[in-house]
Structure 1
Amino acid sequence: MRFTKLHGAGNDFVLVDTRSEDERDWPQFAQSVCDRHFGVGGDGVLLLRGEPGENLEMVMYNPDGSAAEMCGNGIRCFAKYLYDRGEIGEGRTGVLTGAGPLWVQVLGDGPQGLRVATSLGVPDLDAAAVPTTLAADMAIEVPLEIGGQEIELTCVSMGNPHAVARVESPEEFDLERIGPQIEHHPAFPERTNFEIYAPVVTRNGATLRMRVWERGAGITLACGSGAGATVAAAMKTGAIEFGRVGLEVDGGHLEAEWDHEHDDLILIGPAVTVFDADWNH
């Protein structure tokens, strides 16, 4: 089976064009191919279905075989695959995802790779939408006792669940220990992604330093929907103002723009092809 390995800011994926491949047990395939010791290695599997302008769809599976509604870095890689093959140009292209219809737009080459913008939809802070039982309406800066410490969480749905915390130092925060405890906490019936961030003042304006524990994947170098959730949480809690913001993630630099709480949040970042190969297992 032919596949393409790509990454967006270090968030790496195995993409399979199902238009030319037979159907198979995709959850099992995701577990095997994403294994970094016995497989190819990746933060998820992207399946390409349909055709641009008609029923183009991106389906994603996490490394543990669970289905993911959407991935902001993955959808940029999805766009690069199509762009490199001449199937889409530099205009907006609609993509169906588990989080609903979104769009991608190729912006041209950048220092980290092909720059691609994508809509992430309108962030939803309604507790039922996340879903979470931490609050009846909106879970904004709600304290939760985890691992012997109190963490204030702001919960956001980007079509998938996120819990976001502002911390003093993302580098010193014990994400490897706390991350899985929040992912599997009973307050999140569908589990959750967990992001931590700290505002950083730079010459280029507002920037957030963020790290992420992804549901079904663990610590990753970047998370696109997590970047969107972090920006939404930071803006809704007053940590930064609405508008454009940079994000420094472990895998590089992303940009986001959210002008108004009723607008789509836009994410801009790189997409890079690593290699093409065949999977014979």
Structure 2
Amino acid sequence: MAYAALVLSADRHAGDAVAVAAGVDCKALAPVGGVPMVRRVVHALQASPLIQRITLVGPSRALLHREPEIERLLEQAAIRWTANANSPSASTAQALAAEPPEQAVLVTTADHALLSPAIVNHFLEQAQQSHCDFVVAVTRLDTVMARFPHTRRTAIRLRGGPYCGCNLFAFMTERGRTLAPFWRSIEQERKRPWRVIVGALGLGAIVRYLCGRLTLEQALARLSKKLGITIGVVVLPFAEAAVDVDTAADLSLVEKILAENASSIGTV
């Protein structure tokens, strides 16, 4: 199966903390290890044999003019660009509408600075095998903390977890795209997952969640039934998959990780 990839690259709001810390006009252009984050994400996607085309969703073309390699790829039609909407979920819905209905689509973000072809391939291969309409990637919090003990990640505390989101989503079927309106509610409450759970799954589910008895599989089964689509999950073994750059501290962490990786390669 060949996938189209959408890279959400616009800032959520003006004055993004990472952009300010990096001295750039858009977070996607913030350099890590000397390379703008959006370019790292594009390179990871280009290196995957499962990705047939890539579309940047935002930021403005005027801002992208300042990133020479991305501008060159756009001019050569090696990647595409489309304007963003007023939120990530709205931008996703708008960009999905431009893709053929039968096209499987991967959605990720430009601040996924540690994304690698191995992460992309693993997720998409597992997503295809799931036979679901929509698939989301997560990583167990203990996997992340074992690799990066000093980081802080938002986690959903379901039984078998907790789990961290990985900013990787696969819309496998046309029916799966109906999830976009629900995604907006998740986006609005992304720091308060219990509100999403009680709103979607009911009071009984929130009680089990608070008691630590609601599993990820139970939550997805209930949500699938409520929305009329099949929702799957891939639990990734890669700690790096859960590290996006939301804060200046995240930026420093990613810089440190890349420096350590370069050093270990140099000593082999």
Give the alignment's TM-score, normalised by structure 2: 0.26
Question: Bigger relative contact order, structure 1 or 2, given CA contacts below 8 A and separation 6+?
Answer: 2
Larger helix share, 1 or 2: 2
Larger strand share, 1 or 2: 1
